[in-house]
Every structure is written in C-alpha cells, then in structure tokens.
Amino acid sequence: MIILSELEKSVLDEIQKDIPLVKRPFRKMAETAGTDESTFLNTTQSLLNKDIIRDISAIYNAAGLGYASTLVALATKYPDKTAEAINRHHGVSHNYYREHHFNLWFTLTIPCNQEFNTEILKILQDEEYEAYRILPSLKTYKIGVNFRFSGEKKLKSKNSYSTEIQSVNLDKELIRILLSPFPLTPEPWSKIASTLCRTEQQLFNEIETLKKARVIKRISGVIRHRKTEYKANGMACFQVAENKIDQAGALAAQYNAVSHCYKRPVFPDWPYSLFAMTHGTSIKDCEHIADKIASEIGAEKTLLLFSTKEYKKERVKYLI
C-alpha cells in the first residue's frame, strides 16, 4: 500500500468528482482541496505517474453509444493462459481470477448488432474451458462510489445512476476526444474546444446535452483503489426470490460500501440473481457488509468472491 500525503488525499477526493464545466475547473477543485491550481495539477500528474489515478476521461453509458455490455463467468483449468486470450479482445475492460468453479470473471462490451455468445466463442476458439455463463445486468440498482481519503475515512456513495437513455445525435469526434486523457492544464476545456473548432460555451452545451441524455455519466478520474487503503473488494452474490429482488436491490444499494448493485440472470449452476460489489480496507470489512446485507434482505444463499488476481482493468475502448 502506498502512503499518501494529506495533499494527495485531498486531490484524490476531488478528482473522482465530475470535472466542472467552468473556464478553470482545476482552480475550483483546488479551492475545495485547500490548495492552489498549480499544486493541484502537479499533484494530479504525480498521482497519475504513480498509477494511483488510473486515468481521467469521460465515462460513458455503453448503451448511449450503441454498445451492450455483460459480465461473463468462465470455468477453466488454465486461467492464466485463457486470460491472455480474453485480454486481447478490445471489448474486455476488466478480467479477474476468483476462487470458484467459475474462476475467470470478465466484462465484455460490443456493438449492439453483435451477439455476446458469438463473440465469446471467437475469443475462446483456441482455449480449453468447461463452461461459461453470460450475466448481463437486467436491472441496475446502483452504480458509483467515491473512495474518500481525507477527513473521515469512509466510502461515499454517489446517487444511483439512471440507465434510461435519451435519443441524441452523437458527435463521434467529441466522443473520441473525451475518451482521451483529459488535459492537465489551467484551461483544459478551451484546449478541447479549440481542437473541435468550437467555442468553450458550445462545448459546454454539447457535454450538458450528453449528460442529460445519460450518454455521459461523468468526466472524472478513476482510482486504483487496491494501491490505497481500500485494498479489499468482494463480489457479494445473493440468491433472492424473484418477487423480492427489487426490494432487496434497493436495500443493498443503500450501503455506502456498495459501489455497484445489479440484478442478473440465474442458471441451474448459478442461482444468484443479486450482485453487490463491496469495498473496504480489509476482507473482514467486506464480509461484514455482505453478512449485513444478506440478513437484511433475507437472502436464501450468499456467496462472497474476492478477486485474487487482476488480469486487466481499464476503461472500455469504444470503436467510435
């Protein structure tokens, strides 16, 4: 675990927030962090260099760009070799090893006109595996959490995110630029607007439109929390009756330590319909949260899986 200075902690708290649409956003963020603009920018760059901040760019709703995303659970006796094949696919953003019969867990994002099953079979065509299960989100109860580093040490949940997409014209050049690393300069929006041959206000208006349409979730930094005190995260899976799933999902989503909470399909060999990603400073933290949720929602069965190896973790690469 990397020891963070008080300044670094304050900067990490701010950089996880949506970068404000003002002429000098980092000056505004620096004021909240208790420092000056130059120091804030230098510290942010340092945290990027240390790989504590994974990246800073726009986070999109896949459906808003004409893509679909799913979680895939795979059982294989050769996880390291199979993970290499999986990671070569541009649509795979996360890939983990977890101690279970289904031991490889990865996310796959592809254009909506493609089929998950077909694409997965292409990925695995030269691999030995036993089975896989396609587990898309059927309903989102919560997505997003801020890892708070300064002041009171706790996770701060964001408001649950609506996945309802509104129809809007997409400027592919704008989409691509906002996917690129965000400029760490005093006037980053001006730089982006100039590249797009727009005024700054025109850029702000377009971004606001994309946010209102739920195409852009936010433009912010993403933390590699495993390099910090929040080194533990467990995927809590609950078996819940179909007529109780929405109530259970709403209850689980209320926990600050839960970042993502979804309803997913079930199978004879996978009866867990409710998924909740739990985070904490230790495995015991995650176990405690999972136990509390299970008790509160009356789960018939609970399984808590920890990622013991991270094969891949990056933002989705949309081929726009």
Of 94, 100, 101, 279, catalytic:
94
The per-residue DSSP string of 260-313 comes to EEEE---BTTB---EEEEEEESSHHHHHHHHHHHHHHHT-SEEEEEEEEEEEEE
Closest CA to 258 of 227, 285, 224: 285
What's 107's DSSP letter? E
Please give the Cα distance from 144 to 217 (Å, whole number): 10
- For 49, counting Cβ atoms within 10 Å of its Cβ (0-12 exposed, 13-18 middle, 19+ buried), the class is exposed
- The counts of H helices and E strands in the chain are 10, 13
Please give the Cα distance from 96 to 83 (Å, whole number): 8
The answer to whether 288 is a known catalytic residue is no
CB 155 within 8 A of CB 257: yes
Q: Which two tokens stand for residue 311?
A: 């094969």
CB 215 within 8 A of CB 170: yes
Number of C-alpha atoms within 13 angstroms, CB side, residue 2? 18
The per-residue DSSP string of 54-94 comes to EEEEEEE-GGGGTEEEEEEEEE-S-HHHHHHHHHTSTTEEE
Active-site amino acid positions: 94
